[in-house]
Structure 1
Amino acid sequence: MGSHAAPKRRGRALWPSMSLLLLVALVGVPRAEGAPVSADACRATGTELPRGDCGPFWQVLAEDFDGDRVPLGGFRDCEHRVDTSAAYCGGLRGAYRDNWWAYPTGWRDTAGDRGRDVVGVYHPEDTVSVGPAENGDGRMSIRMWRPADGGPVHAAAVVPRAVMQMKYGKYSARIKVTKLAPGYKSAWLHYGGGCELDHPEGEWTGDLTAFHHPCGGGEQGYFPGADDWTEWHTVSTEWTPGHVRFFVDGRQVGHDTRDVPNRPLSWVLQNESALEGPGAAPGSSAQLDITWVAAYAYDWK
């Protein structure tokens, strides 16, 4: 089922000045003309980061992680203006400080509210890094782990600032679990006001799935997408007025129209301790790599 973090001290107020600046920035992004329209509007299926506008979407974020490195420790001091478009991590510098935020150290993950024997606590400072893989490909790596003494899992949720508190849009990434162990999962989501979109979601040892929890309640939409987190997949969510569509490798795996959110929400790349099956073993670790992230605003015209 869908999930979301339930940390303490969650701020909900927006910073109007920063929201206005973000809106101005989005409006100022040039449009590409004649972009193709298809089932997946951006044809986001391949290994390369898609660039440019497509269909009713105009690109506001294109990150391939081939620039500056961020070693472990960079995603620290993230308690500044939390949950707003002005949020930032004091340990980051340059473009990464401008473009990324993370749930601060000490916030509990979803398992803390589900009665699980093994729970997690967000620790971006010792789980998130950016740098080249062995083949030179730039990646953001999320390495979650559980201490040998059996303490809580060190989890990570990173947030692209360009699309915080944005209404509608398209959200894509290319991902792979490069180290597998039981007890770890992802739930990349938009949520708020009783609404929730989750894609991809699932324990890393299980299926990659999508969920839609209608704003008015009722039965969740469940859409299986791919069976194996340990293979590279391009995942996309298209959220437009009255519709949400989920894609894996360019193939539409789900579509729902029931009480689709019509309010600004943030895209949270949430990774945490498992909600089903065995908990993470003491001393274990698992890793998810992200080779690119792309996000788009929705063209209202």
Structure 2
Amino acid sequence: MPTTLPVGDVTSNGRTWRQSYAEDFTKPAALGTVASVYPGMGLYDGFQDTSGLGTYAPAKVLSVADGNLDFDFHSEDGRPLVAAVMPDGYAPHTTARVSIRYKTTVTDGYKFVGMLWPSSDEWNDGEIDWPESLTLGASPRPASAIPGTYANRHVKYDRSVQVHAKTDTTEYHVATTEWDTGIVRFYWDGELVSCTTEAVPTKPMRVTLQGETWTDHGAVPTDASGTVSVDWISIWN
């Protein structure tokens, strides 16, 4: 797999994917300046994350240095601080190929997921998660929600795709999601991990890199701090 940012169109599984976005994070940005240095990115700010334990605070979490977008998770005044980034803003995609090269520390209390989330913000339209580590440093696995299954504040997932990658996230790896018509494929360092023809969105989705507190594991250790470093991201349509 490439260690440098892929630039240009890609042919995969009989389709030519047209590159719509590529970011190598070559412009340094100190804490509190990422929004101004990278004005095209969208950021969650000021509200609670999925578990309700953390608060999205990009100005205190995000920075860019040494060619990496860094998420520095930590607590202030007893409140865990996290961040979520939409690299190409809220651009809607109806199919997409997304690759990121990244690594993480080993840290209890926090997690990271690359996701395609409904532009409508209606969970019933589906959700694609890859890569997703349920705690920082663990081996990631994909997840994909079946559109139209939302009920009682939950959706159904195609459990067959939830196969863990062969390695953890403590060294750089490339995760690629390929959301095509009728199928979603998940790759780790160029090797197919799993795919689904059941849990495939048909409505517009946006690309999101979401760091947040873990779910279903209880309180976040108050002294926990960890980092996700994203070397680059490329998006094709």
Kindly state the Cα deviation for residue 275 of structure 1 after the two structures are TM-superposed: 1.1
Q: 1:141 aligns with which of 57, 64, 70?
A: 70
Render the CA deviation track for 1:168-188: whole Å, top value 9, x for unaligned. Answer: 1100000001x3321110122
Partner of 1:129: 63
Partner of 2:205: 265
Contact 1:163 1:295 in 2 (8 A): no
SS in 2 for 1:182: coil
Distance of 2:91 and 2:2 partners within structure 1 = 26
Contact 2:158 2:196 in 1 (8 A): no
User: What residue identity is the alignment partner of 1:243?
Assistant: I
Contact 2:178 2:186 in 1 (8 A): yes
Distance of 2:213 and 2:63 partners within structure 1 = 19
TM-score using structure 1 length = 0.69
Distance of 1:60 and 1:207 partners within structure 2 = 29
SS in 1 for 2:5: coil
User: What residue identity is the alignment partner of 1:212?
Assistant: S
Distance of 1:292 and 1:190 partners within structure 2 = 17
Kindly state the Cα deviation for residue 290 of structure 1 after the two structures are TM-superposed: 0.7
Distance of 1:187 and 1:174 partners within structure 2 = 13
Kindly state the Cα deviation for residue 46 of structure 1 after the two structures are TM-superposed: 2.3
User: What residue identity is the alignment partner of 2:168?
Assistant: D
Matches within 5 A, 1:113-262: 119-132=53-66, 138-147=67-76, 149=77, 151-161=78-88, 164-177=91-104, 179-192=105-118, 193=122, 194=124, 195-202=126-133, 203-217=135-149, 218-221=156-159, 222-262=162-202
Contact 1:182 1:278 in 2 (8 A): no
Q: 2:21 aligns with which of 43, 55, 61?
A: 61
Render the CA deviation track for 1:94-124: whole Å, top value 9, x for unaligned. Answer: xx113x11101x2110101xxxxxx101000
Contact 1:72 1:125 in 2 (8 A): yes
Kindly state the Cα deviation for residue 283 of structure 1 after the two structures are TM-superposed: 2.9
230-239 or 270-279: bigger deviation: 270-279
User: What residue identity is the alignment partner of 1:240?
Assistant: D
Regions of 4+ moved over 4 Å: none
Distance of 1:186 and 1:290 partners within structure 2 = 11
Q: For the pair shown, which has the larger CA radius of gyration, 1 or 2?
A: 1
Distance of 1:294 and 1:126 partners within structure 2 = 25
Structure 1 stretches lacking a partner, 5+ long: 1-44, 76-88, 113-118, 133-137
User: What residue identity is the alignment partner of 1:206?
Assistant: A
SS in 1 for 2:164: strand
Structure 2 stretches lacking a partner, 5+ long: 150-155
Kindly state the Cα deviation for residue 242 of structure 1 after the two structures are TM-superposed: 0.7
SS in 1 for 2:165: strand
Distance of 1:163 and 1:241 partners within structure 2 = 21
Render the CA deviation track for 1:29-53: whole Å, top value 9, x for unaligned. Answer: xxxxxxxxxxxxxxxx221111110
Q: Percent identity?
A: 29
1:73 and 2:41 are equivalent in the alignment: no
Distance of 1:254 and 1:71 partners within structure 2 = 38
Higher RCO (C-alpha under 8 Å, 6+ residues apart): 2
Contact 1:182 1:279 in 2 (8 A): no
Matches within 5 A, 1:268-287: 268-277=208-217, 279-287=219-227
Superposed CA RMSD: 1.7
Q: 2:48 aligns with which of 102, 105, 108?
A: 108
Partner of 1:86: none
Q: Residues 251 and 216 (structure 1 numbering): CA distance in 2 closer, same or farther, change over 3 Å?
A: same
